[in-house]
Amino acid sequence: MAFDNAYEAITEENDARWAYGTGFTDPLAGVDTTVPADVDGGDLATYCLMLGDDALILSQRMQQWCTRAPELEDEMALANIGLDLLGQARMLLTRAGKADGSDRTEDELAFFRPEHEFRNVRLVEAPNGDFAFSMARLLVFATWRLVQFQRLVDSIDPVLSAIAAKGVKEVTYHRDYAAQWVIRLGDGTEVSHERMQAGLDAVWPLVGELFEPHPVELRLDRVAVDVRELRAEFDEVIDEVLATAGLTKPEAAPMARIGGKAGRDGVHTEAMGYLLAEMQSVARAHPGATW
């Protein structure tokens, strides 16, 4: 699939399953990256890092299922989900480097930032656990990101709006794929039901953070999304899936913040350091290499 520039790619209607943002040296080639008037470039860059880091880190987790998924079909599905998220990450990280005027590339931001500069929610960095945990995590993340992207389509930043419009199609598939597995396991055997419930229970302490707005999000009026407004729609979808699966919605206290800070502030779990060590090792060992 060939395009003259990235705008053609992110507005292409024929193939909603293509991992957009891949196949370009510059994922925003041909895109006007001028920061809209009255929008703080630093805040916009930070917000793009938040969204981009969410996608980048979960993409890494999804790729870790390669050779480990239950069936070959799921190997392909999880790899494609990881590629979709990587495409989103590429565009969002590149947008961040343009918005703050630093011109840092996607590679610089992905492979050469230290842990405390990553802005992802802690949900995406948690180890994969078993398949039930990963499907519970994917259901939660994709449901949340879908309602977020549906609102970002109206962002006054045209780049964010375009990325969100394309992303809605990808994330709809991610949500539906995860929901099918949650229902299949929850409404399956006694063992599969127990493991699916255990996966949900383990994921749930990480859910509360998704709906706690960061000051940057609140400052970006008409650009960003106030995540507090997403909870009702999120709960409606999750409740329907769990009811169909015969699962109980957990009642767990949110994971504690450290010094009042969490993932959006660069404060992460122990798992994050190990993930970055694996993800960044080749780039740091061979800086500037291409292949």
Compute the average pLDDT of residues 106-119: 97
Compute the average pLDDT of residues 21-33: 71
Residues 99-137 as b/e (b if ≥16 CB within 10 A, e otherwise) read bbeeebbbeebbbebeeeebbbbbbbbbeeeebbbbbbb
* Within-domain flag for 35: no
* Within-domain flag for 118: yes
CATH, residue 268: 1.20.1260.10
The tally of domains found in the chain comes to: 1
Q: With a cut of 50, say whether residue 19 has pLDDT above it.
A: no
Q: With a cut of 70, say whether residue 25 has pLDDT above it.
A: no
For 51-75, what is each residue's pLDDT tens digit? Answer: 999 999 999 999 999 999 989 899 9
* Within-domain flag for 168: yes
Q: Using the Cα atoms of residue 40, residue 45, residue 48 and residue 54 in order, give the sign of their dihedral.
A: negative
Q: Distance between CA 28 and CA 86 in Å, rounded?
A: 14
Query: Residue 12: what pLDDT?
Result: 56
* Within-domain flag for 190: yes
* Within-domain flag for 4: no
Task: Say which residue, 16 or 239, is predicted with more confidence.
Answer: 239
* Within-domain flag for 107: yes
* Within-domain flag for 15: no
Q: Distance between CA 85 and CA 142 in Å, rounded?
A: 10
Q: Determine which of 14-28, 29-43, 211-225 has the lowest per-residue pLDDT on average.
A: 14-28
Query: Residue 18: what pLDDT?
Result: 39
Q: Determine which of 13-22, 118-127, 207-216 has the lowest per-residue pLDDT on average.
A: 13-22
Query: Residue 13: what pLDDT?
Result: 54
Q: Which domain holds residue 240?
A: 40-285
Q: Distance between CA 79 and CA 76 in Å, rounded?
A: 5
Global confidence as pTM: 0.91
Query: Residue 27: what pLDDT?
Result: 84
Are the CB atoms for 33 and 163 separated by under 8 Å?
no
Are the CB atoms for 48 and 92 separated by under 8 Å?
yes
Compute the average pLDDT of residues 153-182: 97
pLDDT-derived band at 94, boundaries 50, 70, 90: very high
Counting residues of the chain whose pLDDT is more than 90, the rounded percentage is 85
pLDDT-derived band at 281, boundaries 50, 70, 90: very high
For 172-227, what is each residue's pLDDT tens digit? Answer: 999 999 999 999 999 999 999 999 999 999 999 999 999 999 999 999 999 999 99
* Within-domain flag for 252: yes
Compute the average pLDDT of residues 244-249: 98
Burial class (CB in 10 A: 0-12, 13-18, 19+), 147: buried
